[in-house]
Each structure stands twice: as C-alpha cells, then as structure tokens.
Structure 1
Amino acid sequence: MPIVRDPLDPRISMWHFLAFCMRFFREKMGLSLTQCGEIMGLARSSVSNLESGRRRPQDDQMRKLDMAYGTGVLFQVLLWFARMAHDPDWGRQIGRYEEEAVSIKSYHGQVIPLALQTDDYTWAYVRASKFKDLDASMARRTAKKKAYWEKGDSLLTWTVLDEAVLARPVGGREAMRKQLEHLLELADLQYVSIRIVPFSSGEYMGVDGWLQILGLEDRDVGYSGAQSGGRLIESPGEVRDLSITFDRISVKAASEEASREIIKQYLERYT
C-alpha cells in the first residue's frame, strides 16, 4: 500500500503553508499526484516532494497550478511570500541544497569556509563558539566537510577570501601553518579555485558579510551571512543580485596564481 503522510502544519512557516495549500487544492480537485505532475510537468515523486516540503516549487510550476485551478495568482503570490519570509527551517534546507549542488561560490572576509578548513582550524572556532556540547558540534562540522569532498570533481568550488583571513593566526602558529598548506593543496585541484582579495585592493563590497551561491541542476540559490545569523535566498532576482555582488568582489581579487603567492608569503610567517 502507498504511504499516506499527514499534511504539513501550515503554521510553522510560509513554505509549509504553501505545501499545505498545494496538497489541499489537489485533493479538492480530485487529482492524483501523477495527474498534478502532468499539469506542472513533473514526475509523481517530484509532486510528493513538493507537498512534503522536501523540495521548493518554482515560478513556472505555480503559474501552471494557478491556471489549472483557476486561482488567479494565488500560488504565485504564496511562493513570493514564502521566499520573502523568515524560514525557521533554513539551516536544514540549505544543507539539502549543498548536497544537491554542482557548484558552490563563496566569499568570506573573516573566516576560511568550513569545507576548506583543517580539523585544527575548525576546532579552534568550535572552542570559541557559544555551543555547550563542543564535541557534538565538532563532529557535525567534520562530517559536513567529509561529505563535501566526497563529491570529488562533480562539485566545482570557487572561493574568494580577504587577506585578513590569512593574517589571523587561528588556533596558533602551527595550526595556521597547516591550514595554509591545506589551502595550497586544495588550490592545486582542477575543480577548486581559491583567490585572495589583497589589502592593496582597498575598499570593496565584501565588508557587508559573507555570501554563498549554490548552483543546482536547474537554478541557483544563495545565502547571505551576517552576525548572529543569515538568510537563505531563493528569489531569482535576489540570487542574481547576490551573484553580481560576488562578481564585483572577485574583480578585486588577485589571480589564482598570484593568490597562491600571497598564501605562501603568509605561510613563511607561520613557519
């Protein structure tokens, strides 16, 4: 027998409310998952994933539902509000996107991104965090790093760092030496690009906080970081703006080869 799941609680978030409405209207219209999939141009399993909140719908899919159900722009507006509203489940959702990503572009002006960290570097920041169970936090981060690199060359990595990241001796001189050696090893991989924005570049847009752009098979999503949190970005227009910001930061960065030389200069300081 097919597994019948209870509908999501629409009070949890706008995404849950949208998924709840998708299932409510489909069942009200007497449509099966397969029939609804034919309307949206999706497989039965994809519709099930949308209604369970495991995947996020797109603009064209919501337009097709509005046309089929005669709901005007209801589903399109619900999608807009879901994208604009705070999502309490954003952490889990961005984790799913990272698993699906074929490319990840990131910029950071304060810390080396988790995927590029050595364990000693990671542990230094875990100890400096507000988490009570440090071992559990470290285990989660270590597992996330391992899963990231298990994808091999199927995941393209573009990283831009401020030179200040290299100057900060996180974990002490020995830990930082190993971290910079690790960056150089990663930079030699064909599917990894690491570039440094040198101090000599002067002012640039990166002072606002760190950002990440995840390239999925069918679209891009973004994450904009800030003190005590951040925001998952799924609106195509906002993701495009975030991509432009990343490009403008990248213009200030040194070339890959010149960035290696900058890293080597700091490595000599820690040796």
Structure 2
Amino acid sequence: MPIVRDPLDPKISMWHFLAFCMRFFREKMGLSLTQCGEIIGVARSTVSNMEAGRRRPQDDQMRLLDRAYGTGVFFQVLLWFARMAHDPDWGRQIDKYEEEAVSVKTYHGQVVPLALQTDDYTWACVRASKFKDLDATMTRRTDKKKAYWDKGDSLLTWTVIDEAVLARPVGGTEVMRKQLEHLLELAKLPHVSLRVVPFSSGEHMGVDGSMQIFGLEDRDVAYSGALNGGRLIETPGEVRELSITFDRIGVKAASEEASREIIEQYLERYT
C-alpha cells in the first residue's frame, strides 16, 4: 500500500496553510496528484512537493486552481498573504533559491556580503552577532560560502558595496588586509562583477538596507535585509521594483576598474 503522508500543520505559517488547503481541496474534489497537475500544468511530483511545502506555487497556477475548483480568488489571495506574511522558514528558503540561482545580484552598505568574505572576516562578524552557538553559526556560514563558489562560472555574481564597507576595519587591520586582497582576486574572475559606491557619490537608495536578487531559470526572487531579519520577496511586481533599486544604486557606483582602484587604496591603508 502507498505511504499516506500527513498534511502540514496549517498553524505554522501561511505557506503551510496554503499547502494544507491545496491538499484538502484536491482530496475533497476526489482528484489524484496527477489530475491536479494536469489542471495547473505541472507534473505529479511538483504537486506533491507543493503540498509538502517543498515547492512554492505561482500566480498562474493558483488562478487555474481557483477556476477548476470554483473557489473564486481563494487560492490567489492565499498566495498573496503567504508572500506578505512572516515566514519562519525564510532562511532555508533563501538557501534553496541560492542553490537554484544562475545569477545573484547583491548590494550591501555595511559589511562585505557573505559569499565574498574570508573566513576570518566571517568569524569577526559571527563574534559580533547575537547568536549563542557561535561555532555552529560559523560552520553554517562557511558551508554556505563553499556551496556558493562550488558552482563555478555557472553562477554569475554582481555585487555592489558602499565605500563604508571598505572603511570599516572588521576584525582589525590584518583581517581587513586579507579581506581586501580576497576581493581583488575575486574581481578578476570573469563571472564576477564587483563595484563600489564611493563616498563622493553622495546619497543613494542603498541607505535603506541590503538586498539580494536571485535569478532563477524561470523567474527572479529577492531578499530585502533589515536589522532584526529581512523579508523574502516573490511577488513579480515587488521583485521588479527591487531590481530597479539595485540598478539605481549601480548608477552611483564606480566602474569595475575604478572600483578595484578604490579597494587598492584602502588596501594600502591596512598594510
């Protein structure tokens, strides 16, 4: 006999509630996973992953489900609320998107983005964090960095940082010296673009916080950083707005060559 999987707990998050409702209505309609997949244009396994919370549905799929079930805009509204609500699994979901990404655009105005950090720089950031298990946190971050660069040139990296990142001596002079040398080495890679927004550019839209935009095979998703935890953004309109913000910050940034010169100037200060 096939293994019957228990439905997700709908009280955990709106994403779990959406997945719970997808299974509840499908079974109420007497449909198999395959039949549901035919309605929304996906494979049986994809429906199973959606109902298990391993894959997130999209607007057109929820529109087709509402039409087939006669539920008005029920599933479309559930998807909207799931995207807008706090998601306790947001960190794990971001990791998943990063694994699937073919490109990552990152802006940070305070520290070197994690993927570009040396281990000593990462450890300095971990020590200054609120996490209690520092060793476990460090291990997670170093593993994440390794997985990022293991993808090689199949992952295009566009990074913009504020000059303040270079001026802040995270971990002390020696750590910063090695970190800047590391940035210069990464900047030589053909699939990496690294640019700096100099102080002379004045005000820019990056003062509102950090951001990441993950380019997937079929769409883009984004993450907007904040002090006590950021927000994963999947709504196409919002992702597009964040992409425009990234581009507008980039307008203020120096060219790749000029950015390397700025980094080299700071490297001399730390030598």
TM-score bin, normalised by smaller chain: over 0.9
Render the CA deviation track for 1:67-95: whole Å, top value 9, x for unaligned. Answer: 11111111111111111111121111111
Amino acid at match of 1:63: R
Q: Which residue of 2 aligns with 1:38?
A: 38
Q: Which residue of 1 aligns with 2:139?
A: 139
Deviation (angstroms), 1:2: 3.8
Distance 1:226 1:133 in 2: 22
Distance 1:174 1:263 in 2: 15
Distance 2:160 2:65 in 1: 40
Q: Which residue of 2 aligns with 1:87?
A: 87
Q: Which residue of 2 aligns with 1:225?
A: 225
Residue 17 of structure 2 is aligned to residue 17 of structure 1? yes
Q: TM-score by structure 1 length?
A: 0.98
Distance 2:201 2:14 in 1: 42
Amino acid at match of 1:86: H
Distance 2:156 2:3 in 1: 37
Q: Which residue of 2 aligns with 1:121?
A: 121
- DSSP-derived class of the 2:254 partner: coil
Deviation (angstroms), 1:4: 2.5
Residue 71 of structure 2 is aligned to residue 75 of structure 1? no
Deviation (angstroms), 1:136: 1.2
Distance 2:2 2:101 in 1: 30
Q: Which residue of 2 aligns with 1:97?
A: 97
Q: Which residue of 1 aligns with 2:6?
A: 6
- DSSP-derived class of the 1:229 partner: coil
Summarize the alignment of residues 237-248 of structure 1 with structure 2, pairs less than 5 Å apart. Answer: 237-248=237-248
Moved over 2 A (4+): 1-4
Amino acid at match of 1:4: V
Distance 2:79 2:11 in 1: 15
Deviation (angstroms), 1:30: 1.1
- DSSP-derived class of the 1:12 partner: coil
Deviation (angstroms), 1:121: 0.3
Report percent identity of matched pairs. Answer: 86
Residue 199 of structure 2 is aligned to residue 179 of structure 1? no
Render the CA deviation track for 1:13-61: whole Å, top value 9, x for unaligned. Answer: 1111110010011111111111111111101111111111011100000
Distance 2:3 2:201 in 1: 58
Q: TM-score by structure 2 length?
A: 0.98
Distance 1:215 1:162 in 2: 22
Render the CA deviation track for 1:187-212: whole Å, top value 9, x for unaligned. Answer: 11111110000001001111111011
Distance 1:188 1:4 in 2: 52
Deviation (angstroms), 1:149: 0.6
Q: Which residue of 2 aligns with 1:130?
A: 130
Distance 2:186 2:45 in 1: 37
Distance 1:240 1:74 in 2: 25
Distance 1:5 1:193 in 2: 45
Q: After superposing the two structures, state which structure 1 stretch, 129-138 or 231-240, moved more.
A: 129-138
Amino acid at match of 1:111: V
Deviation (angstroms), 1:148: 0.6
Amino acid at match of 1:191: H
Distance 1:6 1:208 in 2: 42
- DSSP-derived class of the 1:226 partner: coil
Q: Which residue of 2 aligns with 1:49?
A: 49
Q: Which residue of 2 aligns with 1:204?
A: 204
Task: Give the number of equivalent residue pairs.
Answer: 271
Q: Which residue of 2 aligns with 1:106?
A: 106
